[in-house]
Amino acid sequence: MRLTRVTLFLITLIMGAGFYRLTDYLLEDLEAQTLQATEETMIDAAHILANLVENDLNIEKVFERVDERKLSAKIFVIAKEKIGLNAYLTDKNGIVLFDSAHPENVGKDFSEWSDVYKTLRGKYGARSTREDESKSDSSVMFVGAPVSKDGIIVGCLSVYKSQKDVLPFVQDRRQTIIWAVALIGLGILALIVAVFIWLFRPIGKLTAYARAITRSERRPRPQVGVGREVNTLANALHDMRKSLEGRQYAERYIQTLTHELKSPLAAIQGAAELLNEEMPQIDRARFVDNIRNQTKRCEVMIHQLLELSTLEAQSYLENSHQFDLAACGRRQFSQLSRLAESAEVTIESDIPKNLPFFGNEPLLGSAITHLLENGIQFSPKEGIVFLSATIHDDRIILSVRDQGNGIPDFAAKKAFERFYSFRSEERGKGNGLGLTFVQEVAELHQGKARISRLEEGGTEAAMELPVNLIFN
């Protein structure tokens, strides 16, 4: 994803530079074309006025009281309220005879100005001069036209116009161009981003999924939703994950199960061999009872192992629905009352009346059962096992406390490992699968399991589940 962000940044940078250059070019071209169009119109005006002068029309009369004329013209969105075209007339030597806007220029020598100099020599004369050198927008455009008598140039008629009269039209078009280029650029960028998201987001999901596989994390197959090829890749990764997990899972379980079954099977085999010999009836009954207990132990172990293997095969929480977690806890509590009674242990509970929760009810019910069974196993006779459900900060805590000797620190670190079991002084050793099951259920619900020694004595085993799964 970092590469994607860098690529998008570079594309944005290149596009930004390209569109900036394009905008700059268009704006420069716009101004140049506008000034060219204005100059072309001024040429026409200059020659028309020069023709009038050649026909002995008094140029002063033409411009007399021009400034007093009121205009109300609207050119597109620009309002024009006064005439912005002026003119001056020189003789054949470049001496100003008339200036419509600056009468003080009469008598001055303009022969060195480009518009006058070239026009008097039969060439096209034009110039652009700043009225104020410190201001870039003070330029005035001048265009000259020859005044002839009998085919001889006897003067120059120059018309001039301030660029300030033209710039509003340029500014108006400038804003339009900027907005148009910006919108086009943003549209193209949005399209590129959309394509990147469409293509790279699924790839990012697949990358995260592949990394999760390497970390042995549970995660459902990502929903990529684009392209047959990408979906094929997602399916291939998912199948590979299941294959790897299945192979590793089978190897791991075969090894651990073989190891754990050795002891009860050896006991069964030894007792069975001894039963072939002559012995007192009381001894025979003891060996038969031993076979029965060890068989039951194998049966429980295989049942819990199958239960755990089914749970571990889930990459995400399945069959979730809203239910009352408090009622579920009370139900498991009631079902274990007989077991507690036979173990001479009292079980008590402090569970809210109602605790709506969204999750898998059977799994959470089994997890509570395992917590209670663990508490009963490590409680002394006449001890109390306490089940509670509380909400603390952003977590809901299902806790079981017993009054045993307390789990040692070394055992607490390994308590959730598969087949690890700490021996109870009262009731011996379990099969080490119950707390592993609790941990798996907690993690599927985006929570965690923990076990710790209590300061006052005994052990607390608990599941912590996120409150955001609770529906009010």
The proportion of the chain whose per-residue pLDDT surpasses 90, expressed as a percent, equals 13
Highest mean pLDDT among 165-179, 183-197, 365-379 belongs to 365-379
Confidence at residue 99, expressed as pLDDT on a 0 to 100 scale: 92
- Domain spanning 321-469: CATH 3.90.226.10: no
Specify whether the CB–CB gap between 109 and 94 falls below 8 A.
yes
Specify whether the CB–CB gap between 3 and 153 falls below 8 A.
no
**pLDDT of 468 higher than 90:** no
d(CA 85, CA 46): 10
- What confidence tens digit (pLDDT) does each residue in 166-184 have? 766 666 666 776 777 778 7
Domain boundaries, the chain: 2-171, 257-312, 321-469
Entry pTM: 0.46
- What confidence tens digit (pLDDT) does each residue in 379-390 have? 888 888 898 888
d(CA 133, CA 127): 15
pLDDT band at residue 125 using 50, 70 and 90 as cut-offs: very high
More confident residue, 334 or 189: 334
Three-state DSSP class for 352? coil
Question: Cα angle at 242 between 240 and 248, to 5 degrees?
Answer: 100
d(CA 412, CA 378): 13
- What confidence tens digit (pLDDT) does each residue in 275-294 have? 777 778 887 787 777 777 77
The proportion of the chain whose per-residue pLDDT surpasses 70, expressed as a percent, equals 66
**pLDDT of 202 higher than 60:** yes
**pLDDT of 123 higher than 90:** yes
| 144-152 contacts, C-beta under 8 A, 24 or more apart | 144/46, 144/115, 144/116, 144/118, 144/119, 145/43, 145/46, 145/47, 145/49, 145/50, 145/119, 146/50, 146/119, 146/120, 146/122, 147/50, 147/53, 147/54, 147/89, 148/54, 149/54
- Helix or strand run (H / E) with residue 162: strand 152-162
Check residue 353 and report its DSSP letter: S
Confidence at residue 470, expressed as pLDDT on a 0 to 100 scale: 45
Q: What is the mean pLDDT of residues 37-41?
A: 84
Write the CATH number of the domain with boundaries 2-171. Answer: 3.30.450.20
- What confidence tens digit (pLDDT) does each residue in 8-24 have? 667 777 777 776 676 66
- What confidence tens digit (pLDDT) does each residue in 409-464 have? 888 888 877 767 665 555 445 556 778 888 888 888 888 899 988 888 888 999 99
- What confidence tens digit (pLDDT) does each residue in 59-98 have? 888 787 676 667 666 665 556 667 788 899 999 999 999 9
d(CA 219, CA 315): 5
